[in-house]
């Protein structure tokens, strides 16, 4: 049985379009949930535990990326990984070195998300 730790930030089920920018490749992903401290990503490629990368998050409105809201560009670190039975991959990432502007973007997006 695993030990559960209280999260510092509440997670909101929210699907945003994401781009993962690694040194070896760039690829797309989708958030499963989001908080001011991090996100769970679904992607078709594995990420490595502890790996750091630049992440771009795009607000999606009615299935289309919202052109009125510029994407959030943030450094992320992989905290956990998992592989689904269908070959998909998931990863929990923690946002790092957040600026006040990045924190404000997340707070605004989380405030308009259905809870």
Q: How far is the C-alpha of 59 from the C-alpha of 16, rounded, in Å?
A: 5
Residue spans of the domains in the chain: they are 17-110
Q: What angle do CA 80, 86, 92 make, to 5 degrees?
A: 15
At residue 6, what are phi and psi to the nearest 5 degrees? Answer: -65, 135
Q: What is the pLDDT of residue 9?
A: 72
User: Tens place of pLDDT for every residue, the chain, 115 residues?
Assistant: 333 444 567 888 989 999 999 988 899 999 999 999 999 999 989 999 999 999 999 987 777 777 888 899 999 999 999 998 898 999 999 999 999 999 999 999 998 876 6
Rounded distance between C-alpha atoms, residue 83 and residue 11, angstroms? 21
- CATH C-level class of 17-110: mainly beta
User: What pLDDT, on the 0 to 100 scale, is given for residue 36?
Assistant: 92
């Amino acid at each position: 049985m695993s030990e559960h730790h209280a999260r510092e930030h509440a997670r909101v089920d929210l699907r945003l379009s994401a781009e993962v920018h690694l040194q070896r490749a760039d690829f797309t992903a989708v958030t499963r949930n989001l908080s001011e401290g991090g996100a769970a990503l679904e992607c078709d490629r594995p990420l490595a535990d502890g790996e750091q990368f630049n992440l771009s998050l795009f607000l999606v409105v009615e299935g289309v990326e919202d052109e009125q809201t510029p994407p959030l560009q943030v450094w992320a670190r992989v905290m956990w990984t998992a592989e689904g039975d269908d070959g998909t991959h998931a990863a929990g990432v923690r946002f790092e070195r957040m600026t006040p502007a990045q924190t404000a973007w997340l707070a605004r997006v989380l405030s308009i998300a259905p809870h």
